[in-house]
Amino acid sequence: MRRTRVFRGRQCATLCQRAWEVFGDQTFKQLASISASHIYNLRRSAAYRKIRVRVQHTQGSKVSIGERRQPEPKGRPGYLRVDTVHQGQHDGEPGLYHLNAVDTVTQWQVVGGTETISERHLIPVLEAMLHQFPFRILGFHCDNGSEFLNHNVVKLLNKLLVEEFTKSRAYRTTDNALVEGKNGAVVRKQIGYGPIGAEHAEALQKFYAAYFNPYLNFHRPCGYATVATNPRGKRQRSYRHKDYRTPYEKLTSLEKWTESLKPGITAGMLKRQAEAMSDTEAARRMQKAKLSLLACCRKPR
């Protein structure tokens, strides 16, 4: 870097000398004998920078899709937080993507697998995931990634009669913190960080729908915070032992929760699914299917 700068300074000085001595340009008469070091002194001056230097900051692209605000479910189920998790690359080959959708109030979670986050692969998986929620989808919240902020996703949400489409605000890292926490505590903890080829996305999607998602929502307890205001007016969250319950139990604890269910889904159907097996049996069943799947999907290092 230092040699390059010296070369450029000497080059500039030589050009000034040639302009006067070879071409007789009177403008360069006083500059003909200037040294390379003095050129750099002039370039560091405030006057030179004011005239010659132009700084143009990167302009963020404005996307009109989605409203930039935090969702306000007001205790109602159906307001989803959505995010993607990339499984990484191996020998230059891209791995598959996990789609993670979590309800804000009940923490009802549905995970899916897709080869890429392009329209061709993502839209069918996203639609299948939204159909797995037992209640109507009222809101859809995501980060500012182009995989969700596009007209194809808008068309899908309009088809499903989703009322709100919101996106995270700038410098508000907590807007999508719920699903991002689930990315690590659920997806990464169960699937890990090892590479999985994109060609296994369909098999992983079937595993999620048949084993993983039912286990998460009917047999895996989640913590629900109790918010209290201290004497100084600051809100504090606490997680008491009695506040831990499954997303299904949280759903049934809401007032008039049956009114939020989709047509064709009844409280009796959900109850039978929740009581079909114990939590331990469901966990063992899920783990057995997961280990069998990962043994076929993992690429040797």
Query: What is the residue type of 18?
Result: R
Beta carbons within 8 Å of 223's beta carbon, 6+ residues apart:
239, 243, 244
Per 3-state DSSP, the chain is made up of helix, strand and coil in percentages (nearest 5) of 45, 20, 35
The answer to whether the CB of 286 falls within 8 A of the CB of 212 is yes
Task: State mean pLDDT over 12-36.
Answer: 76
Residue 79's Cβ-count burial label (10 Å; 0-12, 13-18, 19+) is buried
Confidence of residue 62 (pLDDT cuts 50, 70, 90): low
% of the chain at pLDDT higher than 90: 56
Looking at the predicted structure, is the pLDDT value of residue 21 above 90? no
Residue pLDDT, tens place only, 147-160: 999 999 999 999 99
Residue pLDDT, tens place only, 160-217: 989 999 999 888 888 899 999 999 999 999 999 888 989 999 999 999 999 999 999 9
**Count of alpha carbons within 13 Å of 97, Cβ hemisphere only?**
16
Written as one string, the DSSP assignment of 174-234 is TTTHHHHHHIIIIIIHHH-SS-BBGGGHHHHHHHIIIIIHHHHHHH--EE-PEEEE-TTS-
Q: Higher confidence at residue 66 or residue 108?
A: 108
For residue 60 the two structure tokens come to: 């963020």
Looking at the predicted structure, is the pLDDT value of residue 27 above 60? yes
Confidence of residue 92 (pLDDT cuts 50, 70, 90): confident
The answer to whether the CB of 91 falls within 8 A of the CB of 99 is no
Q: What is the pLDDT of residue 8?
A: 61
Question: 3-class SS at 154?
Answer: helix
**Antiparallel, parallel or unpaired: β 109-114 and 97-103:** antiparallel
Beta carbons within 8 Å of 281's beta carbon, 6+ residues apart:
none
Give me the residues paired with residue 103 across strands.
80
Looking at the predicted structure, is the pLDDT value of residue 110 above 90? yes
For residue 22 the two structure tokens come to: 């070879």
